[in-house]
Structure 1
């Protein structure tokens, strides 16, 4: 997909500025954090995948916030388990 139209994505989010922020966050999740795309990749870059996910209503600011909160909870639980293991005198 060489060209991407963003009108549908803008309609899903509400305005183009918020759409850019949501698309950037989602693209970063896919590219850097290794999150799996919710649509077929079709050899597209993470930004195009993010826009397609937004257009389909799969991603918005609320879903990204919820996903990030879940990631933080999981990370904190792992840290607590590691500290508990150290406190008990055993290693992971």
Structure 2
């Protein structure tokens, strides 16, 4: 997703059965979606800087760290990462 966001967004919407039209692509809608959904944009939204997560009462900014691939190694133990990898594989193995 980080290396090729445009390509992966197109693959995602096709998987969901809602591919972009030629007109949407020509009008750079795909680029705008990638920009709006980018880590930097999401991190810098005012609600994510100052808002409160209703369920736990925590500030929304706890959901954002560096936005770097494999940054989890700076926050999780090897065992925790392996456990998450196993859960992810188990839950998504049938999705191809």
TM-score when normalising by structure 2: 0.29
Q: Which has the higher contact order (CA 8 A, sep 6+)?
A: 1
Q: TM-score, normalised by structure 1?
A: 0.30
